[in-house]
Structure 1
Amino acid sequence: MKSKNMSPKYQFCFKKTMEHYAGQLIRYISSSLHRKNYITSVRFPEGISFLIVTKNDIWLAESLKSIVRYADEVIIVDSSDQPYLKRNIELLSDLKIKNYKHIIRDLDLPTARAIGLSECSYKWIFIWDGDHIAMDNGKFSFEKLINYVRNLDTTRYYYAIHFHLATMGYQLDEIQPERCKYAGEAWIISNSDHFKFDPRKKWDEPVIPFYYRKIFLQGYYALHLNVIRPITMHQFRDLRISWYNERKKKDISFQDYIKTHKEIRSEPWRIRKVKYDESYYGLIPTLLNKYKGLSYEQIIEEKEKEIEEYIE
């Protein structure tokens, strides 16, 4: 089929598909040319660094507890307000993490990732968030992902491994199927001087050198709980993304852009939810069992009580 006969939507998809396969071919060839003498990741000791950027994450306790057994090091760049900051300090002292660094600075996301990255000292870097919960059972258990990574040949290649996150709805028995895809923050990276986050970028997408060998895994190895929050936060987030994409065409501030969209309201908007299917996505992690069946309001009430207990 000739591209001129395609609709604009299919032309865009066709272009992106060709760019993806061309990029993968270049990566495969170039990564194969990098032999052992050029792999700087061998300078780093065996182990896993988790890089977390957090700001007022209500799920940080569960997130850290789900990965503590796998982490040789946890780097947290924290922009939280009180009382979350005090909770985070107490939480880190209570958990038996082998090694951690708690960087307290109010930074934008790309800059925070870049600073945290400079502190990672092990061979593997897991890009993580304070609202990610590792699966602890089933066919996509996080331990299987850890074993897969540790068996890769790091003497010849750099790796950038991407995996799925199961993105939850407004409570733990709902899921957003259209968002259960590769998320920008779900990366596992070979540590090297070549990999970085660009502080000049709007979002925290990693800048991966072309000779890194990319691997896309299909399993749902973690839950993404960022959507268990008021609907208006999603509305503003999606509007900010569309404003950022359109502002080159329209010289308009974000505040004025919001005024042109009257769909900001309290009822569900633009987000499709379906029943969470444990046979497909895997069992809900045991750390979250106490929240199953609770509404958004009930979850927030429970989390506020937990935070109060930490800071008393």
Structure 2
Amino acid sequence: MDKLKFTLAQNTKYILSHILGIFQIFTKKNSRKNGISVMIRVRDEEDWIARSLLSINDFADEVVIVNNNSTDRTLDEIERIKEKLNYQLIIENEASNDIIKVSNHALSLTSFRWIFRWDSDFIAHTSGKFNIINLRKLLLDLPQSKHYLIYPLTVSFAGDLFHVKVGKEIHSEGYIHTWHPKLRYIKKGKFEVLKTPFFYT
């Protein structure tokens, strides 16, 4: 029964989003260039950050990194591979322990139409059927007159690339969305959520 309710809720949200999407005809066309900004918040991610950045080398036009009080070699690891990166790299510091402030800082630094909130321990597929370059092509081909919010599915390896964690292996972390000046991260209960205008599809 719970599964049925969840499915109905998903379907209802999907239908409403398309109805509300009609209002997009009254909004201005996105003024940003049709490219992809990836925003990453980092704190002590020396083990993963280099692999993560290299895995999106052919996906992103720009990567915004907001360093949040790292005390390990995270920044050194970024510097080590910087010459291998094909995209524009922006790095700024944010000392606040408020994750909402950190996220909104990163969001404010982006400059392309598409924004992907990426975690520093994400590793993208770079070959085969699930090559992230396919996602890039899909996003850039979507109508530029509309606004989108997408929840990508990820697979958790729990720190082990050879053994997937038992439990909720497939879940959604991060957001892919188009830019709008009214976008902002807010706190909802215990969670951080992206607040979007009602006409996002």
TM tier, smaller? 0.7 to 0.9
Alignment check: 8 A CA contact 1:51 1:117 kept: yes
Counterpart contact for 1:167–1:176, Cα < 8 Å: yes
Counterparts of 1:208-227 in structure 2, within 5 Å, are: 208-213=196-201
Which residue of structure 2 lines up, in the alignment, with residue 82 of structure 1? 71
Paired residue type of 2:10: H
Compute the TM-score of the two structures, normalised by the length of structure 1: 0.58
| Aligned sequence identity (%) | 23
SS at match of 1:175: coil
1:50 maps to 2:38:
yes
Task: Report Cα offsets for 1:194-246 as digits up to 9, x if no partner.
Answer: 33211576433322333211xxxxxxxxxxxxxxxxxxxxxxxxxxxxxxxxx
Kindly name which structure, 1 or 2, has the bigger radius of gyration based on alpha carbons.
1
Mapped to 2, the partners of 1:22 and 1:117 lie a distance apart of 29
**2:132 is equivalent to residue 142 of structure 1:** yes
Which segments of 5 or more consecutive residues in structure 2 lack a partner in the other structure? Answer: none
1:104 to 73, 83, 93: 93
Greater strand proportion: 2
Instruction: Name the SS for the 1:34 alignment partner.
Output: helix
**Structure 1 residues 203, 184: CA separation in 2 closer, same or farther (over 3 Å shift)?**
farther
Using CA pairs under 8 Å that are at least 6 residues apart, name the structure with larger relative contact order, 1 or 2: 2
In structure 2, relative to structure 1, the CA distance for the partners of 1:89 and 1:135 (3 Å cut) is closer
Q: Which structure shows the higher helix fraction?
A: 1
Query: Is 1:203 the counterpart of 2:194 in the alignment?
Result: no
Cα distance in 1 for residues equivalent to 2:177 and 2:68? 24
* Matched residue count: 199
* Aligned partner of residue 198 in structure 1, secondary structure: strand
Which runs of no fewer than 5 residues in structure 1 stay unpaired? 1-9, 214-312
3-state DSSP class of the match of 1:52? Answer: strand
2:162 alignment partner, one of 173, 181, 200: 173
1:130 aligns with 2:120: yes
Q: TM-score, normalised by structure 2?
A: 0.86
Q: Indicate the residue corresponding to 1:160 in structure 2.
A: 149
The structure-2 alpha-carbon separation of the partners of 1:164 and 1:132, relative to structure 1 and needing over 3 Å to count, comes to same
Root-mean-square deviation (CA, aligned residues, Å) is: 2.3
Aligned mates of 2:141, 2:18 — CA distance in 1: 19
Runs of 4+ in 1 over 6 A off after TM superposition: none
Residue 11 (structure 2) pairs with residue 32 (structure 1): no
The Cα offsets for residues 253-297 of structure 1, whole Å up to 9 and x where unpaired, read as xxxxxxxxxxxxxxxxxxxxxxxxxxxxxxxxxxxxxxxxxxxxx
Tell me if the contact between 2:152 and 2:173 (Cα under 8 Å) persists in the aligned partners: no
Task: Determine the structure 1 residue equivalent to 2:52.
Answer: 63
Offset from partner CA, 1:85-111 (integer Å, 9 cap, x none): 441452464343432221112333222
